[in-house]
Amino acid sequence: MAGTEEPGLPSIPDPASLSSPSKPRSNTGTYPGAGPGGWPIDGSAWRNHPANRRYQFFQLEQMHHEEINRLECTEAFLLGDDEKKIEEKIDTRTPNTTIFTFNKEDHTLANLLRDKLLKNSHVTFAAYRIPHPLFAKFELRVQTDGEITPKEAVLASSRDLVHDLDVLKTNFTREYELRKMVGGAQNGQ
């Protein structure tokens, strides 16, 4: 191959003639077996380039459980030593208004309570807000007409909500058992 020339084309040297047999080629680049200028001889520069590798946040072998920054699963619902489940703060800006802070609860309870409170005839205003989306806490603001206190309205709504959930549980269990019996009877025919 060395010395073969075609008209109009430059001569292509033989790869064996590029390195001298007496002196091994030094690794001057970042790739093993790299030639002058750091480029690999076998043409794998583009294939091994970091831009062509798959992007990964971390290697699975390097991931350790204690290095992950996450909360324990029980921190979402277990109260701390100095934490109360519900804190009550009377709002002095408007009459008959109280702000209740529910710790370790989220939109599930907040929306159910707000909806139940708005159905109460003595409640003139009920709304909730989540102060920060990363913390399981909501503030429920309740204003009444003065015949009952906001605390009494929340207690009555909570009792009604527990009763409604008990009815839902009973109906669901009954329907589930009936469908299980009907399904068993159809399979046994």
Among 12-16, 72-76, 87-91, 177-181, which is the least confidently predicted range? 12-16
Output the pLDDT for position 10: 59
Output the pLDDT for position 69: 63
49, 85: one domain = no
Q: Report how far residue 162's alpha carbon sits from residue 181's, in angstroms, rounded to the nearest whole number.
A: 29
127, 102: one domain = yes
Residue percentage of the chain with pLDDT more than 70:
61
87, 64: one domain = no
Output the pLDDT for position 112: 97
Q: Which residue has the higher pLDDT, 158 or 9?
A: 158
63, 91: one domain = no
115, 169: one domain = yes
27, 118: one domain = no
Counting the structural domains of the chain, the total is 2
**Residues 78-89 pLDDT 10s:** 888 899 999 999
pTM over 0.85: no
CATH number of the structural domain spanning residue 91: 3.30.1360.10
Output the pLDDT for position 72: 72
120, 164: one domain = yes
43, 128: one domain = no
DSSP helix/strand/coil, 180:
helix
Mean pLDDT of the region 26-40: 58
Q: H or E segment at 125?
A: strand 123-129
Query: Final residue of a domain: which of 26, 41, 70?
Result: 70
56, 92: one domain = no
**Residues 35-69 pLDDT 10s:** 666 666 666 666 666 666 665 555 555 555 555 56
Query: Final residue of a domain: which of 9, 41, 70?
Result: 70
66, 84: one domain = no
Output the pLDDT for position 21: 52
**Residues forming beta bridges with residue 102, ordered by sequence position:** 86, 138
- Enumerate long-range contacts of 144-150, CB under 8 Å, 24 or more apart: 144/96, 145/96, 146/95, 146/96, 147/122, 148/122, 149/96, 149/98, 150/96, 150/97, 150/98, 150/100
184, 152: one domain = yes
| Residue 19: how many other CB atoms lie within 10 Å | 12
**Residues 126-175 pLDDT 10s:** 999 999 998 899 999 999 999 999 999 999 999 999 999 999 999 999 99
Q: In which domain, by residue range, is 26 found?
A: 1-70
Query: Final residue of a domain: which of 46, 70, 94?
Result: 70
C-beta separation of 76 from 105 below 8 A: no
100, 58: one domain = no
